[in-house]
Amino acid sequence: MKKITPDEIQHQQFKIRFRGFDVREVDGYLEKMAVHVESLVIENTKIREKIDRLNLENQGYKKREEIFKRAILNSQKIVEQMKANAQKSAELIIAEAEVNAEKILNQAHNRLAQLHKDIAELKRQRIQLEVQIRAVIESHSKLLDVEKEEAKKSDETDEKVKFFNRH
């Protein structure tokens, strides 16, 4: 179907016949129709322009939406990578801490074993020292006893000498 323009409506000519339509009435109606169709064409043009403008805006929004979607996906990927890296770092730190703890524990065990050896050596030295001191005390005690006996004999001899000197 061919589009009819307001000009075509306004310039449309009808054949006049006997007992036909009133020419003025038809012309008036055609004039009204032309004005009405012209306003519809103008409104339609405005609507099409608005639709075109809205379509352009919509395309811009869709492009921005795509950009935002890509940015969100990239952000999510980066966050996931950061989480994975943090997890790996945490695992490495824990493993390193466990190794260090094991070293410290081994050093503590070695130090404890050395301290036990040192304590055992000190006990042995103390016992040996006690034995030596007892031996010295006993030898001095025997010397004292011997000295006491000699002093007693010397006193007895002195008493005999005094006794003989008196008599």
Render pLDDT for 113-148 as a digit per residue (tens, 0 to 9).
999 999 999 999 999 999 999 999 999 999 999 988
Confidence of residue 1 (pLDDT cuts 50, 70, 90): low
pLDDT score at 155: 80
Q: Single out the residue of 40, 46, 37, 27 nearest to residue 7, CA to CA.
A: 37
pLDDT score at 167: 64
How crowded is the C-beta side of 150, counted as CA atoms within 13 Å?
6
Residue with tokens 């322009």: 49
pLDDT digits 0-9 by tens, 18-50 = 777 777 888 888 888 888 888 998 999 999 999
Tell me the domain boundaries of the chain.
6-166
Output the pTM of the full model.
0.44
Average pLDDT, the chain: 90
